[in-house]
A and B are shown apart, each in its own frame.
Chain A
Amino acid sequence: MHPIAKMALQRLALGVFTLFVVSIIIAGAVEFLPGDLAQEILGQSATPEAVAAFRAEVGLDKPPVERYFSWLGGVAQGDFGVSLATKRPISDLIAARLGNTLFLAGFAALIAVPLAVTLGMLAALYRNSWFDRLVNVSTLSSISFPEFFVAYVLILFLSVGYGFDARWVLAVLGLLLLVEGGGAVKSALKDSGRFSFIGAIVGVLGLALVVNAVFSWWTYQVEPVQAFPSISNISPNTPFGERVYRSFLPALTLTLVVTAHMMRMTRASIINLMASPYIEMARLKGMSPGRIIFKHALPNALAPIINVIAINLAYLITGVVVVEVVFVYPGLGQLLVDSVSKRDITVVQGCCLIFAATYILLNLTADILAIATNPRLLHPK
């Protein structure tokens, strides 16, 4: 058998065992929650008899170990049981929500992963330039704020209130070009005594943008627009385009939260490699800077990048609870939060198991990809 296939099977088996351990931990944790489903549903004023009758009806009167094993037996056959609160099959309940969560995660990942890897490579290519610093400062700031804060800031600017004034972007961009162009002219003069025309053109362009924006603010006011909805209520019947539009803000929030990590890792792994002799060799073979980054550095930097992407993808699926709550997005995280407050144990267990499985599968994929992209492991001596 191919070593990779063997490794994948071993890891899968280990993953199943991990899931089993996780399920025990979840079941134990749920038992420690104060109160139970019967009390939550029947309320404070219910008589002890009514509570007891309700418990007997849903099977809560049996000892925890027995309940756990009968649930586990069901799961092993693919049957997650029924929700204690609604009596609907959990598989149906989760399936719809999981679809929404995967949609949002996929949406965010489609923006975030290419963005982060590209930014990381560009930042490595133009290391210590203003571009590099801008990318670092902005991604690190966005990761430093709590998710709900980022979400509300986006709502403030892109949805309600002041609306969105594109002139801000132009003004900031102009300022950066001005500083960068000026810096290029200055350093070229200092290092080699030559005048940098490209630097001068960039600087003048930046100045023009800034002047234009200031002048425009002076003269007229733009009506704020509500660009995107602040509530991402989607249903199974929502058409695809509408879905994309409605889930844009949560996807953007998630993008801002995960980009920094992946971008920093891409940048660091590539910079780390840029000092290696084979990169110098590529330079001495007369290769272009772009080719050096893409053909010579990136293939060797893939393993750490893939691992960080996997961790962030897993986070996009399992860590979105807060974002889903802010945007009232009907995903798996919302379901989990609701079920915990309702003490709907079986649903909580189902959700957690899916989260755990996601982590395991994504990490397994990352490991396999890391091996598949490393010739030393793929083609042993």
Chain B
Amino acid sequence: MSDDKILEIRNLKIDGKSGDDWLPILKGIDLDLNRGEVLGVIGESGAGKSTIGLAAMGYTRGGCRISGGTVNFDGTDLVQASETYRRKLRGKRIAYVAQSAAASFNPAHRLIDQYSEAPIQHGVMASAEAQSDATDLYRRLQLPNPDEIGFRYPHQVSGGQLQRAMTAMAMSCRPDLIIFDEPTTALDVTTQIEVLSAIRDAVEQFGTAAMYITHDLAVVAQMADRIQVFKLGETVEEAETRKMLSQPEEDYTKSLWAVRSFKATAKPKPPVDEVPVVELKNVDAAYGTTQVLFDVNFKIHKGRTVAVVGESGSGKSTAARVITGLLPPSTGEILFNGETLPADYRKRNKDQLRQAQMIYQMADTALNPKQRIGDIIGRPVGFYLGLSGKQQRERVRELLDLIELEPDIYMHRFPGELSGGQKQRIGIARALAADPQFIICDEVTSALDQLVAEGILRLLDKLQIDLGLAYMFITHDLATVRAIADEVVVMQYGKVVEQGPKVEMFRPPHHPYTDLLLSSVPEMDPDWLTDLLAARERGDAVDPDDADAAAK
């Protein structure tokens, strides 16, 4: 092993326990990392990305075992090393940054105590020294109030700041290697940029080697010197970032690169005098005394898709709750085919309830794990359409055909036996079971891999054309908006800041906030982040403060 190599993985095999059998997760992978180098690890779910990241620390999750190969870190094979040796390495020489900082910080302790824990326990620094060091790193990572923020508990700090605090925590012992496991996946696009630039600066300043795990190609293009693509526990290909982006060799890599090409069928504009299926008129809404929607107006026409875009906290999901009647608005009204709907869902009749259905973000939690697919879809069929027995079963079969799942195979399965994409299809079938005119799709593709998500978008597009459905499509992902929307509504702080047909929305001039959103979506150009930050510095591009100022 040469001197400048920090990590060398050879023929690593890891199995996961499934019932009584051990199934392979990693099928003999090789990976090299030099000191100070950033390696992008790319793949869809099931590729074994996280398993690789953890294995680099000599760690396997419960129910997994290393069945062969070596993980050579700075001259020692971590597979053969004792647990005590590995424990002394973790946190001190190899550190980890997890996907969800909110879940990975211990809610019972202050940030600064969690920062100091590793240096103190590993005997690197004394308590006072660690605390002043924490403040210093918080400042370098551009956290607001660096002297004070460490004394807060995790729940008192926002997601983007927590993620930077976690990067600081990983740096606390000045490790040789940091594993970043999807550190920005859970963040909004505008926050993502701040975290990405903070991570990049920190890694550069300390010359730390890093493994950057993600499924987002555009993100990894900004971060990595070199990219290694994985599929189902095997390396697909590996190359320098620029080469990988410009001339991928393998078909699988090309297919990953090409995912964003889907475009929904363009629909004709509705006649000017057509009554919209759903219309929000001057809607204000509040949770308790906190007002979250301010004078929201928009229309959704038959057979068309309105994408509602905004960051977390912008009020998109609240607007959906208002339409479904779960949260009655404080003022304003909701019209359905020109008629006012009762504000509270309890006062709506069965037919009004039937007309508006929802598909949820997490198909995992939205389906009852103890019910068979036939029952999950059969229930709304029975409830809304009054069908039972053989008729109900027939209808369920038709619906399964519609969502392109074989009825004989899937009728009697439980949700746990389905893949993520199939579960989301069941969610769609359940919404269709009520025979609605209007469906709210709440971030329905954000938990899915890009290829799977594309399948769902295609299905939704096909159903819209066949059944003339109106969609309200809530998302924070502008690529999805580009693919599926007919009209776009941009929300910020509970207000609609801009709305109109998609073609106009993606053409300048924009509202500053729309501009910020659009410019924050990472592009597949390795220089994109550098250029954007420079442009914001010069004042050529809108930055978050401008957008905030424009909103107020």
The chain A residues found within 8 Å of chain B, CB to CB, are: 191, 275-278, 280-288, 291, 295-296, 299-300, 373-376, 379, 381
Given known A-B contacts A277-B103, A284-B90, A299 and B108 have beta carbons under 8 A apart: yes
Q: List 25 A-B contacts (CB under 8 A).
A: A278-B103, A278-B106, A281-B96, A281-B104, A281-B106, A282-B106, A283-B59, A284-B54, A284-B90, A284-B95, A285-B95, A286-B86, A286-B92, A286-B118, A286-B121, A287-B87, A287-B91, A287-B118, A291-B121, A375-B107, A375-B153, A376-B107, A379-B153, A379-B156, A381-B156
Q: Which B-chain residue is minimally distant from A291 (CB atoms)? A: B121
DSSP majority for the A interface? helix
- What per-residue 1/0 map shows which CB atoms of B83-112 lie under 8 Å from chain A? 000111111100110101001111111000
Q: At the interface, yes or no: B245 with Cβ under 8 Å from chain A?
A: no
How far is B86's CA from A284's CA once the two chains are assembled, in angstroms? 10
Set of chain B residues within 8 Å of A379, measured between Cβ atoms:
152-153, 156
Set of chain A residues within 8 Å of B372, measured between Cβ atoms:
none
Set of chain A residues within 8 Å of B88, measured between Cβ atoms:
286
B106 in contact with A300 (CB, 8 Å): yes
A285 in contact with B155 (CB, 8 Å): no
Q: Which B-chain residue is minimally distant from A279 (CB atoms)? A: B106
CB distance from A291 to the nearest CB of B (A): 7
Q: Which A-chain residue is minimally distant from B157 (CB atoms)? A: A381
Set of chain B residues within 8 Å of A283, measured between Cβ atoms:
59, 90
Set of chain B residues within 8 Å of A376, measured between Cβ atoms:
107, 153, 155
Given known A-B contacts A191-B65, A300-B107, A375-B155, A287 and B121 have beta carbons under 8 A apart: yes
Q: At the interface, yes or no: B117 with Cβ under 8 Å from chain A?
A: yes
Set of chain A residues within 8 Å of B90, measured between Cβ atoms:
283-286
A287 in contact with B107 (CB, 8 Å): no
Set of chain A residues within 8 Å of B118, measured between Cβ atoms:
285-287
How far is B252's CA from A381's CA once the two chains are assembled, in angstroms? 46
How far is B83's CA from A287's CA once the two chains are assembled, in angstroms? 11
Set of chain B residues within 8 Å of A296, measured between Cβ atoms:
106, 108
How far is B155's CA from A208's CA once the two chains are assembled, in angstroms? 54
How far is B90's CA from A291's CA once the two chains are assembled, in angstroms? 15
Q: At the interface, yes or no: B57 with Cβ under 8 Å from chain A?
A: yes
How far is B118's CA from A288's CA once the two chains are assembled, in angstroms? 11
How far is B113's CA from A295's CA once the two chains are assembled, in angstroms? 11
Q: At the interface, yes or no: B122 with Cβ under 8 Å from chain A?
A: yes
A300-B108, A381-B156 are known contacts; what are 16 more A-B pairs with Cβ within 8 Å? Answer: A280-B61, A281-B96, A281-B104, A283-B59, A284-B59, A285-B121, A286-B86, A286-B92, A286-B121, A286-B122, A287-B91, A287-B117, A296-B108, A375-B108, A375-B153, A376-B153
CB distance from B56 to the nearest CB of A (A): 11
How far is B108's CA from A373's CA once the two chains are assembled, in angstroms? 8
Contact of A277 among B54, B89, B98, B109 (CB under 8 A): B98
CB distance from A313 to the nearest CB of B (A): 24
How far is B92's CA from A275's CA once the two chains are assembled, in angstroms? 23
How far is B170's CA from A285's CA once the two chains are assembled, in angstroms? 8
Set of chain A residues within 8 Å of B117, measured between Cβ atoms:
285, 287
Set of chain B residues within 8 Å of A280, measured between Cβ atoms:
61, 98, 104
How far is B114's CA from A281's CA once the two chains are assembled, in angstroms? 10
Contact of B89 among A278, A286, A288, A299 (CB under 8 A): A286
CB distance from A372 to the nearest CB of B (A): 12
How far is B62's CA from A287's CA once the two chains are assembled, in angstroms? 17
Contact of B91 among A286, A300, A373 (CB under 8 A): A286
How far is B65's CA from A376's CA once the two chains are assembled, in angstroms? 37
Contact of B109 among A191, A285, A299 (CB under 8 A): A299
Q: Which A-chain residue is minimally distant from B84 (CB atoms)? A: A288
Contact of B107 among A278, A284, A285, A291 (CB under 8 A): A278
Q: What are the 6 tightest A-B residue pairs by CB atom distance, in nearest-first order?
A: A286-B90, A285-B91, A299-B108, A286-B91, A277-B103, A284-B96
Set of chain A residues within 8 Å of B104, measured between Cβ atoms:
277-278, 280-281
How far is B152's CA from A307's CA once the two chains are assembled, in angstroms? 27
Set of chain B residues within 8 Å of A285, measured between Cβ atoms:
90-91, 95-96, 117-118, 121
How far is B95's CA from A299's CA once the two chains are assembled, in angstroms? 24
Set of chain B residues within 8 Å of A299, measured between Cβ atoms:
106, 108-109
How far is B122's CA from A285's CA once the two chains are assembled, in angstroms? 9
CB distance from A312 to the nearest CB of B (A): 24
- What per-residue 1/0 map shows which CB atoms of B104-141 lie under 8 Å from chain A? 11111100000001100110000000000000000000
How far is B91's CA from A282's CA once the two chains are assembled, in angstroms? 9
Set of chain A residues within 8 Å of B91, measured between Cβ atoms:
284-287
B98 in contact with A281 (CB, 8 Å): yes
Which residues in chain B, 139-164, are within 8 Å of chain A measured between CB atoms? 152-153, 155-156
Q: Which A-chain residue is minimally distant from B66 (CB atoms)? A: A192
Set of chain B residues within 8 Å of A375, measured between Cβ atoms:
107-108, 153, 155
How far is B61's CA from A278's CA once the two chains are assembled, in angstroms? 14
CB distance from B317 to the nearest CB of A (A): 20
How far is B106's CA from A299's CA once the two chains are assembled, in angstroms? 10
How far is B89's CA from A296's CA once the two chains are assembled, in angstroms? 20
CB distance from B53 to the nearest CB of A (A): 10
CB distance from A133 to the nearest CB of B (A): 19
CB distance from B146 to the nearest CB of A (A): 19
How far is B108's CA from A300's CA once the two chains are assembled, in angstroms? 6
Q: Which A-chain residue is minimally distant from B92 (CB atoms)? A: A286
Q: Which B-chain residue is minimally distant from A274 (CB atoms)? A: B62
Set of chain A residues within 8 Å of B98, measured between Cβ atoms:
277, 280-281
How far is B54's CA from A283's CA once the two chains are assembled, in angstroms? 11
